[in-house]
Amino acid sequence: MPFFPCAHAGHPLWQHATRQVIVQLQAQISMQPPTVRHGLGLVYVSASLAAHAAEIVGTLAQALPQVQHWAGCAAHSVLAGDMDYGHTGAVAVMLPVLAPGDYQLFSDIATHKPAQPGMTAQAALVHGDAAAPALVPQLIELARQLECPDLLGGLGHLGQDHAQWAWGSTASGRLPATVGGGGVQKGGLSGVLFGPGVELLSVGIQGCRPMGPSHTVTHAEGAALLALDGRPALEVLFGHLNWQEALAAPGAAPHRLPGELQQTLLALSPPHPWVYGASVALAAHVLSVVGIDPLRQAVFVEGLPQPGQTVTLCQADEQVARAEVRRACAEIGDWLAPEPTPAQDGQAAAIGRSICGAIYIRSALRHPVPRSAQVDAELQLIRHALGPVPLLGFTSTYEVDGTALQQMSAQLLVFTQPLQALT
C-alpha cells in the first residue's frame, strides 16, 4: 500500500486553493498502481472559506470521481505538512486507501443507523460544532449508536462560519448526496467510522505543567466543584493562585480577575496520582474554569466533575507540549518497530510497519492562530520523528477523547501498513 495522496494549498479565493489541491492529487494518483482504490476523502478548510464548503467539496468530487465519500470540517486553522495556515484561506485533502467495507460515514446522530452488518467499529473520527448544547450527552449517545467507545476528533467554535460535511456518491453520480442525513451541516456530529481492517494508532498529547499538589473532589453538582479535600473549592483555588493576598495588596486590580480566571486550567483524572513527570498524565482531562460562585464557594468548569476524581491546577507550557509531542512520536516508533515472527523455514523474520498517513488535531489554545501561513514547530517535530509522511489536520476548540472533551490537548492519528518480511 503506498502513501495516502495528500495535498494542501493556501489562497484567499477558494477556487484557486481547490484547483491547486486537485492538480497535486491528480499527479500523486497517477503515480500509483491503477488497482489502488481511493474511496474516501478527508477535507479540511479554513474558517474564512467555510461559506464555500459546498462548492469546495463539490468541485473536488467532480474532479476526482473515483472518490466516493467525503468528510471533514471548517476549522480555526488548517494544519498540513509542516505548515499552520492560520487565518489564511486554505484547503487540505487526504485520500486514505481503504477497502469499502472498512469505513462508514455518519452524520446527525438522530438519523444515524447502526454500523453496516459484519463491521465491528474500531474507532471513529468525529467533527462537530463546539457551540452546540449538551455536547457530552451527544458524544455518549453517538458512542452508543455507533457501538464504538473510541471516539477521536475535534470540535470547532466558529459561530456563523462553522461547517462540516459527510457526503457520499449515488448510483447516478449526482452531487451533493448525503450519508445518514449529512451534506454540509451547521450542527450535530459527523465523521468516519473505521472498522477492524484499518490499522490505526492514536496517541493523546497533553501540553500542561502542574502548578501544585492534587486534590480529591469531595462534592460536585453538575459543572460545579463545591469541595476539594473537604474544603470549599473556591478557597482551595484562591490559595493556589494567591488571589486573597493579591486583592489585599495596595494597588490591587479586581477587574483583572475575570480575565485571569478564564486562563485558569484544571486537570481532572481518575482517583490516582495523575502527575506524569513535569506534565499532566494522559488520563487527565484538562478543562477551563468558566466561573465562580462566592456565595456557595463553588468553581465552575467546562465539564462534569465527579466525586472521587483527582483535580489540580495546571498551566499551558510550550516546552512541556513539545516534550509530549516527542514522547508521542517515540511511542509510535516503538509500535512500528519490527517484531520477530516465525518463518516457514524455521528462521525468524522481522515484520515491521510503515506509516501511510497521519492526522494531527490540536487545541487552538496551545498556540495562537497565526494571521498568515507559517512553519509550525510541532508539525516539524512530528515529521522529523516519523519522516516525510502525509500529514494534515486542524485546530479545534475541544478535542474529543472518548465521550469526554479535552482542552489544551492534541491527538495524533496514524494509519499504518505491514512491511514485507525481511529475510
pLDDT tens readout for residues 333-384: 888 887 666 655 555 555 678 899 999 999 998 888 888 999 999 999 999 9
User: Distance between CA atoms of 325 and 90, rounded to whole angstroms?
Assistant: 24
- pLDDT over 90 percentage in the chain: 44
User: Distance between CA atoms of 138 and 145, rounded to whole angstroms?
Assistant: 10
Considering 265, 299, 315, which residue would you say is the last residue of a domain?
315
* Ordered alpha helix ranges (H), 38-127: 53-63
φ, ψ dihedrals at 91, nearest 5°:
-130, 130
Q: Are residues 41 and 172 in the same domain?
A: yes
Residue 11 banded pLDDT, cuts 50, 70, 90: very high
pLDDT tens-digit readout, 64-97: 999 989 999 999 999 999 999 999 999 999 999 9
Q: Are residues 141 and 200 in the same domain?
A: yes
User: Does 423 fall in a domain?
Assistant: no
Considering 297, 315, 333, which residue would you say is the last residue of a domain?
315
Map residue 368 onto helix, strand or coil.
coil
Per-residue pLDDT at 337: 81
User: Distance between CA atoms of 392 and 71, rounded to whole angstroms?
Assistant: 14
User: Does 137 fall in a domain?
Assistant: yes
Reply yes or no on whether the pLDDT at 112 is more than 90.
no
Q: Are residues 159 and 283 in the same domain?
A: no
Considering 315, 339, 366, which residue would you say is the last residue of a domain?
315
Q: Are residues 50 and 159 in the same domain?
A: yes
Q: Are residues 82 and 187 in the same domain?
A: yes
Q: Are residues 75 and 186 in the same domain?
A: yes
Q: Output DSSP code: residue 169.
A: -
- pLDDT over 70 percentage in the chain: 82
Q: Are residues 329 and 291 in the same domain?
A: no
pLDDT tens-digit readout, 403-417: 888 888 899 999 998
**Number of domains the chain is built from:** 2
pLDDT tens-digit readout, 115-141: 455 567 889 999 999 998 888 889 998
Q: Are residues 217 and 174 in the same domain?
A: no
Could you tell me how many residues make up the chain? 423
Alpha-carbon 273 to chain mean position: 25
- Burial (Cβ within 10 Å: 0-12, 13-18, ≥19) of residue 165: buried
Give the DSSP H/E element, type plus range, for residue 178. Answer: strand 178-185
Q: Are residues 142 and 270 in the same domain?
A: no
Q: Are residues 17 and 90 in the same domain?
A: yes
For residue 223, count other CB atoms closer than 10 A to its CB.
Answer: 16
Q: Are residues 332 and 295 in the same domain?
A: no
Higher-confidence position of 177 and 406: 406
Q: Are residues 75 and 196 in the same domain?
A: yes
Amino acid at site 329: C
Q: Which domain holds residue 310?
A: 208-315
